[in-house]
A and B are shown apart, each in its own frame.
Chain A
Amino acid sequence: MEPIKTFSSRVVLLPIDNIDTDQIIPARFLKVTDKNGLGEALFADWRYGADGAPRQDFVLNHPASVGSQILFAGDNFGCGSSREHAPWSLVAFGFRAVISTYFADIFRNNALKNGLIPVVVEPEVRHALQARLESDPATELTVDLESQTLTLPDGEKVSFPIDPFARQCLLDGVDQLGFLLGESDAIQVYESSRPARVKTTA
């Protein structure tokens, strides 16, 4: 995984509350055994008509959305199903951060494992930011993971919280499995200290 530092981008505005992972990627696209092609399925039911043609009234199909790395969403982004296909499809489309007032727990965990930064802002900041993005869609924001800040073009900075461990993994470009594998001695000690609760094998 590439280390993540700072990036700047225009923002795709999708200020809808409770966007669930079934909207981010409908279940019929989960019949895969790899991660290929999921960017095409992102927001499929909002993005394409029943005939498969892109819907011009959906923001992701606007020319200005091409190349955007930041998605701005309503409250409680990523609720519902635990499918990691949701962050995979967002990343495959090109997103590197999502801004919301809060994220569903499983989605946030999944996003952090895939280099997608959940940027949590206070409701007042969200309202102000939304108004600004609506009046000037070309506004570029800068996300700095190291300093945990979101910077507006006029230099105004908003800080955001992030799990310190996940942040360090992203800054170093290492994944969390490596950390767990490094704990194998402690796991061994734990296992030998107590009997197994259940055995699934005959």
Chain B
Amino acid sequence: MPNEQGPRTLFQKIWDDHAVRAETQQTPAVLYIDLHLVHEVTSPQAFTELRQRGLKVRRPEHTLATMDHSTPTTPRRKGMIPVNDSLAAAQLKQLEVNCADFGVPLFALGDDEQGIVHIIGPEQGLTQPGMTIVCGDSHTSTHGAFGAIALGIGTSEVAHVLATQCLIQNRPKTMEIRVDGELKPGVTAKDIILAIIAKIGTGGGTGYVIEYTGEAIRALSMEARMTICNMSIEAGARAGLIAPDETTIEYIAGRPYAPKGAAWDAAVEAWRQLPSDEGATYDATVTLDASSLGPMITYGTNPGMGMQIDGLVPDPADLHDPNHRAALEKSLRYMEIEPGKPLLGTPIDVVFLGSCTNSRISDLRAAAEALRGRKVAPGVRMMVVPGSQLVKVQAEKEGLREIFEAAGAEWREAGCSMCIAMNGDQLDPGQYAVSTSNRNFEGRQGRGGRTFLASPLTAVAAAIHGRVSDARELSYAGVKNDDAFTDN
């Protein structure tokens, strides 16, 4: 609803609602934070800071910790946690101690609710429209899919929020990315976001909060919207948002931490006021036609180096800017990929299905449906890593585990796994992987390892053929159904 400031965007409404102090010429805004998610890797030094200053956690009841980054994904059970890495074990122990000392609730390794921090927030109903959410992790942008301002922060800021429940922020600019048209079969939310990043570049969103709009975004399920917002950071954006609608409300209803009874009705009423007002303006606008997209894959060493799967790898000789040419040459050298050639048919060693980008139940369903009755190619290792223990249990209930295992894939416990490769799951030097994760940086999935980022369907196609393959050529019931990939 327009107020005296005139029409406002979704972002402006949430920002204004959380400004403890507005920004001035000399001082940034002080923003109140509704939910602070914490994990073992970026929090220990923040708790140390609190101890050194004799501070408490101001609002433990707005804080939730889990273990995900440095945790192994090998079989576990309550009370028996196989952490062989002594450094990781000490870090996990430290999180337990910190949470106990400061009264912060913790979903620990072995708990039913443990999982990747950006999977469990939405899954538990903690992530809600209109909120401010922070976490010491850049993929916090995931939560923006609900129409929340969700910011990745550093460890100093983790200490700030623990101690004051507030964050110092300069107001970012806003960018609308409108995606119209309808996705074709075999093309998914992951392909939309990879196409966006390829279009605007890894720095294209720097200084901006992106709001994704348009009929193709509206048609996506909540889980697919999370995939989009998750990778906003890979375009350099401060955050990514999607306005809440009936899809959002339906997703949240009944989840453990969702409002109940009269509080639910009031919350829904407030959420309906959040979408950007008619006439609200953005600092920049980018448009994309979903119907023009095919499956996407990256060929280089940043997520902006992406193309349609049947495209040709760009040639540095075609680039005029010497720095851009040098960057592409360096990437292709690392990847050992030839310019001007197709990527289709490139042999691969590993397929990784997981990460906060693509490890939700709908991702596993889509992948299992494509893999049903088929085999992972000889010599290829396929790892399936559910985003949370609850996703894992659900997938097992639905028989997805059997499909993956019958195909020859590994079924793992929940965690960040090979996306960050600091937990034992990693590529060997020189190996090629098709990964559903979010980063193809040099060494990201293991020193010397080489990553092609793609959707779960493209990952399955690669697993079956042992080569980079076009998911549209997999014939099974799913690809004939226009809705299968946009609204499941």
Contacts and interface: CB of A to CB of B under 8 A. Distances in A.
Given A16-B327, A18-B202, A82 B447 contact: no
B60 interface: yes
A77 B183 CA distance: 34
Interface in A32-79: 32-35, 45, 50, 74-76, 79
A80 interface: yes
A80 B441 contact: yes
Contact of B20 (A17, A74, A187): A187
A106 B168 contact: no
B164 A184 contact: yes
Interface in A1-48: 15-18, 20, 22-23, 26-28, 30-35, 45
A80 B257 CA distance: 31
Contact of B42 (A28, A35, A83, A201): A83
Size band of the interface chain A makes with B = 35 or more
B156 A84 contact: yes
Contact of B35 (A23, A76, A198, A201): A198
A177 B130 CA distance: 26
Interface string B51-88: 00101001011111000011000000000000001011
A168 B10 CA distance: 32
Interface in B66-116: 69-70, 85, 87-88, 90-91, 94, 103, 105
B287 interface: no
Interface in B448-478: 448
Contacts of A176: 156, 160, 168
Interface stretch (B22-30, B214-222, B290-298, B306-314): B22-30
Contact of A106 (B34, B53, B138): B138
Interface string B201-212: 011001100000
B339 to A, nearest CB: 17
B128 A22 contact: no
Contacts of A32: 44, 87, 91
B409 interface: no
A106 B42 CA distance: 13
A200 B105 contact: yes
Given A28-B422, A183-B21, A22 B49 contact: no
B16 to A, nearest CB: 13
B203 A82 contact: no
Contacts of B85: 31
A164 B26 contact: yes
B443 A79 contact: no
A183 B154 contact: no
B429 interface: yes
B26 A197 contact: no
Contacts of B32: 187, 190-191
A128 interface: no
Interface string A185-202: 011001100001111111
Interface string B277-301: 0000000000000000000000000
A50 B442 contact: no
Interface residues of B, number: 83
Given A33-B91, A45-B442, A106-B152, A74 B323 contact: yes
A26 B153 contact: no
Contact of B160 (A76, A164, A177): A177
A15 B323 contact: yes
Contacts of A76: 202-203, 206, 236
A23 B442 contact: yes
B94 A33 contact: yes
Nearest to A111: B154
Contact of A196 (B28, B61, B138): B61
B34 A165 contact: no
Interface in B125-164: 126, 128, 130-131, 136-138, 152-157, 159-160, 163-164
A84 B164 contact: no
Contacts of B152: 82, 106
B421 A27 contact: yes
Interface string B350-379: 000000000000000000000000000000
Interface in B412-442: 420-422, 429, 439, 441-442
B333 interface: no
A165 B157 CA distance: 15
The winner among A26, A45, A164, A200 for most chain B CB atoms within 10 A is A200
A188 B78 CA distance: 40
A22 B164 CA distance: 30
Contacts of B448: 50
Given A15-B323, A84-B45, A104-B236, 16 more contacts: A22-B443, A26-B443, A50-B429, A50-B448, A79-B236, A80-B439, A82-B154, A109-B153, A109-B157, A113-B157, A163-B28, A177-B164, A183-B21, A186-B21, A199-B61, A199-B62
Interface of B: 20-21, 25-28, 30, 32, 34-35, 41-42, 44-45, 48-49, 53, 55, 58, 60-64, 69-70, 85, 87-88, 90-91, 94, 103, 105, 126, 128, 130-131, 136-138, 152-157, 159-160, 163-166, 168, 170, 172, 202-203, 206-207, 233-234, 236, 238, 257, 302, 304, 323-324, 326-327, 330, 420-422, 429, 439, 441-444, 447-448
26 contacts: A18-B203, A22-B441, A22-B443, A23-B441, A26-B447, A30-B42, A30-B70, A32-B91, A45-B443, A76-B203, A83-B42, A83-B154, A84-B155, A106-B152, A110-B155, A179-B27, A179-B168, A187-B165, A196-B34, A196-B62, A198-B35, A198-B128, A199-B257, A200-B35, A200-B60, A202-B105
4 closest Cβ contacts across the A-B interface?
A110-B154, A33-B44, A84-B154, A31-B87
